[in-house]
Amino acid sequence: MAAGPMTSPLGYDPLDEATLADPYPQLAALREQASVAWHEGMECWLITRYEDCLRVLRDHATFARDPRRLGIPVPDAHLSVQVLDPPQQAGLRSLFMTALHAQDLDALQNSVGQVIRERLHLCAAQSVVEAMRELAQPVALAAISDLLGVTPPPLAEWAAISDTIMRSMDAGLNPELIEPGRRARAQLSELVDSWFTTTGRSSGLLGHVRAHTADASPEQAAYVRHSARVMFQGGYSTLTAALGNLLYTLAHHPEIWPALSERPGLVRTAVDELVRFDGPVQGTTRLATGDVTISDVHVRRGEKVTVLFAAANRDPDTFELPDQLVLDRTPNRHLGYGWGTHACLGTVMAQRVLAVLVDTLLDTQTWPCPAGPAPRRRTATMRTFARLPLSLQP
């Protein structure tokens, strides 16, 4: 058994400047020296080895997502596919999964490709482009709106709402974020509810969901709406972050450009490798439903466990050359999209959007180059840029 809880193991602070800039050395030190470690400030166990992370994600009987299983109340408005656990979650998850697979993803990919081309054309006229605002955000908003079959809200307004919600994910570290987060969630609810209450156009993923839940109980109908919010806001913010991280990695690894140009078939595996290498979702939390041992460390019922995807994805016991980009890495069972019953519902779509971005950069011979300091946002759960100045000229 490990000794008692450790205070901030190895000084790990997800929000300090050096960790925000490059979390991987700190995460590697944690994984090597205290792979299951209690963090006093975060009040949770940090799990950093791939196999341990996988075990927590797979074993939803022992590791709950839904706090109500431990007697902790959850506001009704938060109950969605992301919070409910099996068996309650099952029908909802399969409804959204089926709706996703009913979409014409080739058509979606083509229309996203068109948006990317237009944005790149505009970017080419500027020597320095703020790529989050000019490329990642508009592409993500167009893609997610198209998938859901809704009219996109105005970008600037929507980006502000989404940013506030994203920041409030770290309310555990900073309680001042709770109230603005609540207001932004109310705005999101209003928007998503309007898609359910307006009659008329009923296409896309939400059209499918609406058609298949016309007879749902009020409780089920509420879960469906809350899950639609997660799809829209979670999908948008994660995709935006992923597009930014991918552009940054490409800009800082010009050596991969010739490899991709010579073997365009590499793009599909390359975009997965880019998510493993520097994905947007750093971790997730679960609650132990009983006393349990993880790698010889005793975790008590009710304690919070944080699975650090970012650490697991660089675990040398699972990935050869974990700190290098291996564009044709196969298999690549990284945890960038999670695993198990709460694994990402948008994986297929996200992979396509990332691939079409790389394909379009290749087609237009546009290779991103760094064009100034790129500060990260001070957010622990989502790894993303506050600003990303790039040159995007063919």
Residues that bind ligand HEM (CB under 6 A): 81-82, 93, 144, 147, 230-231, 234-235, 238-239, 242, 275, 279-281, 284, 309, 336-338, 342-346, 349-350
DSSP-derived 3-state class of residue 46: strand
- Look up residue 133 and give its two tokens: 């605002």
The residue number with the shortest CB distance to ligand HEM is 346
**Amino acid (one-letter) located at 351:** Q
Minimum distance of ligand HEM from residue 147's CB (angstroms) = 6
3-state secondary structure of 269: helix
Nearer to ligand HEM, 184 or 305 (CB): 305
Residue 382 C-alpha from the chain's centroid: 7
- Are β-strands 292-294 and 44-47 bridged in parallel, bridged antiparallel, or unpaired? unpaired
Q: Give 9 or 204: the residue with its C-beta nearer to ligand HEM.
A: 204
The nearer residue to ligand HEM, 271 or 371, going by C-beta atoms, is 271
For ligand HEM, give the closer residue by CB, 129 or 345: 345
DSSP secondary structure of 218-250: HHHHHHHHHHHHIIIIIHHHHHHHHHHHHHHHH
Instruction: Closer to ligand HEM by CB, 256 or 349: give it.
Output: 349
Q: Tell me how far, at minimum, the Cβ of 11 lies from ligand HEM, in Å.
A: 26
- For the CB of residue 262, give the shortest distance to ligand HEM in the complex, in Å: 25
In the complex, the smallest distance separating the C-beta of residue 264 from ligand HEM, rounded to whole angstroms, is 20
Please, which residue, 81 or 116, has the CB nearer to ligand HEM?
81
Is 299:305 a contact under the CB 8 Å cutoff? yes
DSSP labels for 301-332?
TT-EEEE-HHHHTT-TTTSSSTTS--TT-SS-
CB of 103 to ligand HEM, least distance (A): 10
- Residue carrying structure tokens 């960790």: 19
Sign of torsion over alpha carbons 62, 299, 339, 80 = positive
What's the sign of the alpha-carbon dihedral 191, 196, 199, 205?
A: positive
- Least distance to ligand HEM from the beta carbon of 238, Å? 4
Measured from the CB atom, is 144 or 297 closer to ligand HEM? 144
Distance CA 261, CA 252 (A): 17
**Rounded-to-integer distance, Cα 149 and Cα 143, Å:** 10
In the complex, least distance from residue 344 CB atom to ligand HEM, rounded to whole angstroms: 3
